[in-house]
Amino acid sequence: MHLNNNEIKKCLKQGKEFIFVASADIEFKQNIVYSNVCVPEKWGSRFVSSCLIVEAIGQTIELLIRKVYGVSGSMYLAQIKKVRNYNIIQLVEQFQNIRIISEATQKINNCFISAANAFMEDERICYVEIYHYIIP
Amino acid sequence: MNCRQILKHRYPFLLVDKIIEHEYNEKIVGIKYISNNEPWVQGHFPDEPVFPGVYILESMAQIGGLIFYLDDENDQNSENGKLGWLVGADRVKFLRTVVPGDILRIEAVKIINVGSLAKVSCVAYVNEIKVASAEVTYAFK
């Protein structure tokens, strides 16, 4: 399933000023998601922070959770088990070239456990293991 | 300690307002004021602003990294200017929401410093209530 930027804005609870996913492709059978990263419209800076790659990964996985598991209510980022930065990204132009590929997401009770890598061309720049919780 | 002179981060990613305690190579305590006038407020979330968890992590990482900065130009033996690159984080937990008006107080304590790597334990508080914690790893050139 392909999601464009407008569909992503409808799917996520964040406002358009804080959405860092340009487009996404969800593979339902494999339970994984691919996405392309962007800065929001009217981004007032030439710079980004490494924390935004983690946010982009979190939003990418949230799309998968909402589409594959049909979660429509609120979720929150409860834990980040592991972050590994392999390169430093500081400029918007670099950030917009990032592609995210998730690994399979598991659901345990109200918690979704996921992992994902961020790449710039063929170079891995970040790895994250993340826990999302559903707010009952 | 003037954070603006030391850290290269600038608005909107300078996520430390002041350092209130610094014990070189051991411990640091910093403050981040959470304001309604920050760019994330509009989008995270539109009806109910919540300081993003990844920004808490970034704030912890910025403050924690200053442990290894010796703010003493007269010390000939110092490693003044030693700033780490954020290479990893583990066991990051977000326990409560942080909202505009809150004052985030971050305490960071060195766990280990071996060769060009260092690990720091960070805890964030609002009104003395723990809101987040993390272990942050830095690499030095």
pLDDT digits (tens, 9 = 90+) for B100-132: 999 999 999 999 999 899 999 999 999 999 999
> In terms of DSSP H, where are the helices of chain A?
5-11, 51-68, 92-95
**DSSP assigned state of B48:** S
- The three-point CA angle A16-A19-A21 to 5° equals 130
Query: Which residues of chain B does A40 touch, with a Cβ-Cβ cutoff of 8 Å?
Result: 43
- Measured in residues, chain B has a length of 141
Residue B37: burial class (beta carbons within 10 Å; 0-12, 13-18, 19+)? exposed
Angle at A131 between CA A5 and CA A56, to 5 degrees: 25
What confidence category does residue B9 fall into, taking pLDDT thresholds of 50, 70 and 90? confident
Residue B72 and residue B7 in contact, taking contact as beta carbons nearer than 8 Å? no
DSSP A99: E
Tokens, residue B28 = 């640091």
Give residues 107 to 136 of A whose Cβ lies within 8 Å of B: none
The encoded tokens of residue A30 equal: 């494999």
Could you identify the residue written with the tokens 């030693």? B82
Distance CA A119, CA A101 (A): 8
**How far is A69 from chain B, CA to nearest CA, in Å?**
22
CB-CB: which of A76, A77, A83 is closest to B89? A83
Residues of B with catalytic function? 44
Residue B71 C-alpha, separation from nearest chain A C-alpha, in angstroms: 25
Q: According to DSSP H, which parts of B1-141 are helical?
A: 3-6, 53-65
Q: How far is B74 from chain A (nearest CA, A)?
A: 32
Average pLDDT over chain B, rounded to an integer: 90
ipTM: 0.94
Q: How confident is the model at residue B73 (pLDDT cuts 50, 70, 90)?
A: low
Under an 8 Å CB criterion, which residues of B touch A?
9-13, 39-40, 42-46, 52-55, 57-58, 61, 85-94, 134
- Cβ of B52 within 8 Å of Cβ of A84? The answer is no
Inform me whether the pLDDT recorded for B78 exceeds 80. Answer: no
Mean pLDDT of A53-63: 96
- Determine the distance from the C-alpha atom of residue A79 to the mean position of all C-alpha atoms in its chain, rounded to a whole number: 14
- Decide: pTM greater than 0.90: yes
Report the alpha-carbon distance of residue B132 to residue B141 in Å, rounded.
Answer: 29
Check if the beta carbon of residue A35 is closer than 8 Å to that of residue A22: yes
pLDDT tens digits for range A92-136: 999 999 999 999 899 999 999 999 999 999 999 999 999 999 987
Handedness of CA B55, B56, B59, B60 (dihedral sign): negative
What is the mean predicted confidence (pLDDT) over A74-79?
90
pLDDT digits (tens, 9 = 90+) for B20-62: 999 988 999 999 999 999 999 999 999 999 999 999 999 999 9
Of A18-22, B56-60, B67-71, B107-111, where does mean pLDDT reach its minimum? Answer: B67-71
The pLDDT value recorded for residue B72 is: 58
Percent of chain A whose predicted confidence (pLDDT) is above 90: 80
**Chain A CA closest to residue B88:** A84
Number of CB pairs, chain A paired with chain B, less than 8 A apart:
80
- pLDDT of B74 higher than 80: no
Does the beta carbon of A52 lie under 8 angstroms from any beta carbon of chain B? yes
- For B101: left if phi > 0, alpha if psi spans -120 to 50, otherwise beta; the answer is left
Distances in Å between the Cα of B2 and the Cα atoms of A47, A109, B81 are 21, 46, 13
**Residue A7, Cβ density class (10 Å: 0-12 exposed, 13-18 middle, ≥19 buried):** middle
Residue B81, Cβ neighbours under 10 Å: how many? Answer: 10
Distance from CA of A125 to the nearest CA of B (A): 10
Interface residue of B13, B56, B136 to substitute, partner A, most A CBs within 10 Å: B13
